[in-house]
Copies of this chain bind each other. A is one copy, B any other.
């Protein structure tokens, strides 16, 4: 059935039923969908709020993406922002703009993916809004919380801090290239890369452990390692030096990126974006502290990749050959594309 035939009331009724069926209302939710505003009991922690909007033709192409993946991703990218503050996600409100000639089944599958992500990250959809729109857009706002002494901002990196990154980089960027190109060599590896692009991680556990281990600042990698690290540099009024040979490049990117995309592995790791790993700064030895805490939990590896410098030293990268070069911000800008 088309959205235009279903109407707003029919659409909201279906969404509401789907969400209530997919998860039982948490005990601290006082009002869910169906009132003027959602309401929940406050905690003594610091409240976190983040919003990320995904727009058709900019962040995805609606004819080529599975609705479930799209719904999952729209939640995961927001959860990743909460993770970067060392917080836990709690609640989501969702605004959707939908073309009238879109099939309801596609919207339905978007919500299935959102509910799946909600279950994965232990957060609940408690409200939202829908409207007709020329192009599909999905705006997710997530509310979370964090212990006041654990919050990890962008503005608190200090010269002398080491720079760390979780997991490995470049897979999402190569996955996107493969997704756009269609058929590819190395189908198994490519399938993994594409999945990595469509269903990004959100390093919630890692974020919390990094904060407990002593991280001084943190951010998630959405625009690309360089661009996001430059945010930290700008907000903290510092410079930095990355060491090329320390960047943790995804194994399939390392071996196959030239064949799949013609791009150098390092380029994808530095500028590819959408890895949704965490970068943080902290004292020397943070890895040992992180691993000590990781003992009982499944978390990804942490790598030291560089150092925070005084602001006047600028933002540089030292190559394998020892040569140091100024970094240019080539990160993604969807307005200028």
In the complex, A134 has a CB within 8 A of chain B: yes
For A44, A47, A82, the residue with the greatest tally of chain B CB atoms inside 10 Å of its CB is: A47
CB distance from A109 to the nearest CB of B (A): 18
Contact across chains for A47 and B39 when beta carbons are under 8 A apart: yes
Q: Which of B37, B84, B132, B218 contacts A55 (CB 8 A)?
A: B132
Q: Closest B residue to A50 by CB, please name it.
A: B37
- Verify B144–A37 contact, CB threshold 8 A: yes
- Given contacts A31-B153, A36-B219, A335-B8, whether A53 and B131 have CB atoms under 8 Å apart is yes
Any chain B CB within 8 A of the CB of A146? Answer: yes
What residues on B are CB-neighbors of A57 within 8 Å?
134
CB contact between A45 and one of B42, B52, B55, B126 (< 8 Å): that residue: B42
**8 Å CB interface, A312-337 against B:** 333-337
Q: How far is the CA of A128 from the CA of B144 in the complex (A)?
A: 15
A7 within 8 A of B: yes
Q: B42, A49: Cβ atoms under 8 Å? A: no
Interfacial residues of chain A within 180-204, with CB under 8 A of chain B in the complex: none
Task: Please name all residues of chain B whose beta carbon is closer than 8 Å to the beta carbon of A85 when the two chains form the complex.
Answer: 31, 35-37, 39
Which of these, B41, B52, B84, contacts A129 with CB under 8 Å? Answer: B52
Asked whether A47 and B42 contact (CB < 8 A) given A4-B335, A335-B4, A335-B6, the answer is yes
Q: Does A127 contact B (CB under 8 A)?
A: yes
Partner of A49, one of B34, B127, B130, B220: B127
Answer whether residue A87 sits at the interface, using C-beta atoms and an 8 A cutoff: yes
Chain B residues with CB under 8 Å of A51's CB are: 93-95, 127-129, 139, 141
Q: How far is the CA of A42 from the CA of B42 in the complex (A)?
A: 7
- Flag if A95 contacts B139 (CB, 8 Å): yes
Question: Is there a chain B Cβ closer than 8 Å to A299's Cβ?
Answer: no
Which of A37, A55, A141 counts the most B-chain CB atoms under 10 A from its CB? Answer: A37
Knowing A46-B40, A143-B143, the reply to whether A153 touches B95 (Cβ < 8 A) is no
**Contact between chains at A37 and B58 (CB < 8 Å):** no
Complex interface residues of chain A between 209 and 232 (CB less than 8 A to chain B): 218-220
CA distance A130 to B53 in the complex (A): 7
State whether A7 and B38 are in contact (beta carbons under 8 Å apart), knowing that A49-B93, A53-B129 are contacts in the complex: no
Determine the residue in chain B with the shortest Cβ distance to A151: B39
CA distance A8 to B329 in the complex (A): 13
Rounded to whole angstroms, the CA-CA distance of A82 and B220 in the bound complex is: 32
A residues with CB within 8 A of B? 3-4, 6-9, 11, 30-31, 34-55, 57-59, 81-82, 84-85, 87, 91, 93-95, 97-98, 100, 126-135, 137, 139, 141, 143-146, 148, 151, 153-155, 218-220, 235, 333-337
For this complex, 10 residue pairs linking A to B, each with C-beta atoms less than 8 Å apart, are A11-B335, A31-B85, A31-B153, A34-B154, A35-B154, A47-B143, A50-B127, A51-B94, A55-B132, A137-B137
